[in-house]
Structure 1
Amino acid sequence: MAVKITPYNGMAELLRLYNSRTRGAGASDYNSPVAGEQADRADISTRGRALATFRAALQEVPAVRQELVDRLREQIASGTYRIDCRAIAGGLKEELLD
């Protein structure tokens, strides 16, 4: 199945819709629906609002916790850094079981 694509495909219809909305439209009714159409509407779910809140909170958290990085570098350099194998194994176990 072939579809013909031209630079003006649908342009007449777009212009007709544009003109029907803007012809004689004042500032107050520019965004009002054309007769027979419903007004645009957007609803944000509770989950969407929560995600927006979390995203905003994440923007405030630094990407790198510099104080932690500095402390670990110091421990590694001084030879006092110790790995807690049990904590790592427990974390892996939890990750695999979830």
Structure 2
Amino acid sequence: MQRVQRGPNKSKIRNAQRMSDIAPIPQHNAGFAPVERLGLSPASTNGSQASSPSQTPTGALRGRDEVDISEQALFLSRIRQAPAIRQALVDRVRSEIQAGTYESEAKVDQAAKRLAEELDLLG
């Protein structure tokens, strides 16, 4: 731990611990070549892919952006695009079900057929 006290006198360091002996990191001019990235294509200053190899003003190379969209995200996107719920129809059917007048053999058969088609069970 290092504490520095400042005041009218010179700064004093108390309880300073010495750092361990860590070898310095070599510089580029010390016989090592700079690291180069593979698979990157240069980008123009407007952010789009350049037609000829050139560097940005800072000398950096831009990579290609990619997005992977999961099946679940695609499904959620399709659900959001579904038509709105017809609340009046839902309310009418709900009241018929509560009154016991909604269900009939024809409606149950038709609902089962539509469900099977939707689940692709009937082919």
Larger radius of gyration: 2
Into which bin does the TM-score normalised by the smaller protein fall?
0.3 to 0.5
Q: What's the TM-score once normalised by structure 1's chain length?
A: 0.35
Bigger proportion of residues as strand: 2
Which structure: greater helix fraction? 1
